[in-house]
């Protein structure tokens, strides 16, 4: 990690909190906007929506670099090695996130996103060799069980939607962990990571969209003549940039796990708003109870994480901590002990 700036040293708590709140607000808004575009207007191409968000990111950051508002390394061959595998994780996160948003109701979308927390913990233990207090591990188990309970009674079960959301969880967890690693890479910084992520994968994604016929469906979409749809589409593109920037900022000032936890806090609001917004939530008491248990567990987990953050970072380990070891056996399967 690079040395902290004087501003970070003077106001570390404020920067951590403000970046977390910024990410939570951005994530909430883009989920609602994307849901409006993909479900309410029935826009057929989640891939093209992602492309629009990538192009917006490139244009905004390039213009800012030309105006010397932000600074990051000019492109050269070393960029590809420095940033890999973030572009692959970036596009995977983008596409599967938009696809699952279209396929699932907002409450079930946010419930199944809870698996990201568990995946992030495992990846941090495997990649960054981190340890976690037992209470946090138990709260994660409660969150996952609540999510499974709610999902078991999902009256709008969609195999494709569930597949996309679980893939999105995996991509999000991997992206969070590797973003934290790459932010310390010399020459990139938070703006370089964001810009080159979008730049490297926008052309391949555009070609894939054209090859699959996805682009044609988007171009021939009939609601392009409606001002309300155009506004929502442009808002989604802009919020895509804002969300990615907020993730980078939150990861810069906090840990990858903290960024994931912030998303869990945000999901409490999104889930219950989604019961009344979107029109695709089918109510059942079992589903609603599981949703409530899951969200309550998320709040408890978040409280424990933020409450113990300072002490856990200053101590190497305590008798209360449970160290997660990831090992690989001869068959190539990974196991947690």
- Tens of pLDDT, residue by residue over 68-119, are 888 888 888 788 888 888 888 877 887 787 777 777 776 677 677 778 888 8
Task: Give percent of the chain with pLDDT exceeding 90.
Answer: 12
Q: Which of the four pLDDT bands, split at 50, 70 and 90, describes residue 279? A: low
Task: Answer with the residue of higher pLDDT: 41 or 322.
Answer: 41
- Taking 50 as the threshold, does the pLDDT of residue 136 lie above it? yes
pLDDT at 307: 65
Contact 273, 43 (CB under 8 A): no
CA distances from 300 to 55, 140, 147, 330 (A): 38, 10, 15, 38
Q: Calculate mean pLDDT across residues 30-38.
A: 86
* 100 three-state secondary structure: helix
Global pTM reads: 0.67
- Taking 50 as the threshold, does the pLDDT of residue 220 lie above it? yes
Length of the chain, in residues: 337
For CA atoms 211, 83, 70, 171, the dihedral sign is positive
d(CA 166, CA 118): 12
Residue among 233, 215, 212, 208 at smallest CA distance from 223: 233
CA distances from 62 to 30, 89, 196, 261 (A): 22, 22, 10, 31
Lowest-confidence region among 56-60, 103-107, 141-145, 330-334? 330-334
User: DSSP H helical segments within the chain, as ranges?
Assistant: 6-10, 12-35, 46-66, 78-83, 86-103, 106-112, 115-127, 134-152, 159-182, 189-212, 214-219, 227-253, 256-276, 285-314
φ, ψ dihedrals at 266, nearest 5°: -60, -35
Cis peptide bond upstream of 85, omega within 30: yes
- Taking 80 as the threshold, does the pLDDT of residue 175 lie above it? yes
- Taking 80 as the threshold, does the pLDDT of residue 237 lie above it? yes
Task: Answer with the residue of higher pLDDT: 145 or 312.
Answer: 145
Average pLDDT of the chain is 76
Contact 264, 298 (CB under 8 A): yes
Residues 6+ apart with CB under 8 A from 72: 61, 65, 187, 188, 189, 191, 192, 195
77-80 contacts at long range (C-beta below 8 A, 24 or more positions apart): 78/187, 79/188, 79/196, 80/200
247-275 b/e (C-beta count within 10 Å ≥ 16 → b): bbbbbbbbbbbbbbbbbbbbbbebbbbbe
The tokens 């495992």 sit on which residue? 122
* Number of other residues whose CB lies within 10 A of the CB of residue 143: 25
Q: Calculate mean pLDDT across residues 327-337.
A: 35
Q: Which of the four pLDDT bands, split at 50, 70 and 90, describes residue 230? A: very high
* 29 three-state secondary structure: helix
d(CA 259, CA 93): 15
- Taking 90 as the threshold, does the pLDDT of residue 149 lie above it? no
Lowest-confidence region among 2-6, 14-18, 159-163, 276-280? 2-6
Lowest-confidence region among 183-197, 226-240, 288-302? 288-302
């Amino acid at each position: 990690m690079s040395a902290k700036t004087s501003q970070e040293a003077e106001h570390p708590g404020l920067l951590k909190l403000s970046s977390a709140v910024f990410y939570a607000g951005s994530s909430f808004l883009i989920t609602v906007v994307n849901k409006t575009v993909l479900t309410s207007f029935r826009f057929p191409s989640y891939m093209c929506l992602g492309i629009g968000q990538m192009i917006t990111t490139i244009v905004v950051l390039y213009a800012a670099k030309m105006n010397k508002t932000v600074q990051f390394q000019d492109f050269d061959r070393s960029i590809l090695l420095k940033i890999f595998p973030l572009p692959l994780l970036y596009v995977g996160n983008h596409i599967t996130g938009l696809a699952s948003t279209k396929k699932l109701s907002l409450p079930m979308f946010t419930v199944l996103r809870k698996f990201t927390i568990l995946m992030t913990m495992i990846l941090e233990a495997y990649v960054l060799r981190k340890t976690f207090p037992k209470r946090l591990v138990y709260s994660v188990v409660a969150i996952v069980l609540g999510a499974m309970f709610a999902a078991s009674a999902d009256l709008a079960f969609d195999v494709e939607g569930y597949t996309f959301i679980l893939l999105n969880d995996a991509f999000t967890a991997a992206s969070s962990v590797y973003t934290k690693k790459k932010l310390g890479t010399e020459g990139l910084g938070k703006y370089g990571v964001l810009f080159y992520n979008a730049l490297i994968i926008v052309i391949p994604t555009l070609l894939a969209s054209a090859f699959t016929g996805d682009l044609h469906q988007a171009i021939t979409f009939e609601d392009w003549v409606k001002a309300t749809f155009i506004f929502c589409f442009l808002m989604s593109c802009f919020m895509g940039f804002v969300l990615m920037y907020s993730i980078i900022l939150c990861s810069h000032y906090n840990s990858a796990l903290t960024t994931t936890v912030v998303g869990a806090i945000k999901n409490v609001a999104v889930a219950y708003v989604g019961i009344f917004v979107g029109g695709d939530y089918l109510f059942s008491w079992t589903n609603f109870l599981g949703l409530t248990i899951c969200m309550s567990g998320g709040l408890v987990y978040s409280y424990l994480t933020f409450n113990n953050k300072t002490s856990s970072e200053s101590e190497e380990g305590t008798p209360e901590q449970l160290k997660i070891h990831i090992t690989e056996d001869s068959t190539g399967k990974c196991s947690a002990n």
